[in-house]
Structure 1
């Protein structure tokens, strides 16, 4: 069996991290309390180190790309993404409450969600990138 070079092992590790984060981010679309955006940001960070092809796919993805560009260029979050994130935080907490979660869980979750919401709300709104900026 051929041995992998250290460079190949490093690329494999970066690709594994990127694909795992894409999978977790995708799962976060339907699983309450599992975030999507942080996993996609990690994937966008790891992908170029392991697979330029995967990095290009993320950058050019019609749904993911603009949000990643806004974060990378401006440290900004598009207003629709903010609304969605805040709505999902509220919905997740409501599901816990309706499911009869213990008071301490509701309190800890409310504190965590308040911190996350504060972070989201204090980020600037993303300004649309020109087509030239997206291709650079």
Structure 2
């Protein structure tokens, strides 16, 4: 039964990650890494399918092997964070929401930027 739960969580993460590929407010790579984790516990075949995708596989492998994020992915992530914050300012989001958003985005951006680059770039 637990394997089924892990498999469902894995597919949920894949779905949210694919939505994140279109919407700048959801981090695609994080959800794909989570999907790989859940698939490893629930379905090795599904994990292999995900890790073998040319778009996500190298990033997942780099994270699992080295805790690394490619320079391109770092720049894209930080750019999307800045875009979301800029849109929030543009649309007049309340100051206290902007403050919370700024703290969260600064923390997330700092984390992403301080990860090493993979030895072999994905």
TM-score, normalization by structure 2: 0.93
Equivalent residue in structure 1 for 2:116, among 99, 106, 124: 124
The runs of 5 or more residues in structure 1 that have no matched partner are: 1-8, 130-136
Shift of 1:88: 0.3
Task: Name stretches of at least 5 consecutive residues in structure 2 with no aligned partner.
Answer: none
Q: Paired residue for 2:81?
A: 89
Residue 71 in structure 1 maps to residue 63 in structure 2: yes
CA contact (8 A) 2:29 2:59 kept: no
| Superposition RMSD in Å | 1.2
Residue 93 of structure 1: how far off its partner (Å): 0.5
For 1:1-136, what aligned pairs fall within 5 Å after superposition? 9-128=1-120
Aligned length: 121
C-alpha distance in structure 2 between counterparts of 1:105 and 1:98, whole Å: 13
CA shift for structure 1 position 106 = 1.0
User: Considering only CA atoms, is the larger Rg found in Structure 1 or Structure 2?
Assistant: 1
1:113 is displaced (CA, Å) by 0.5
What CA distance in whole angstroms lies between the structure 2 residues aligned with 1:62 and 1:23? 17
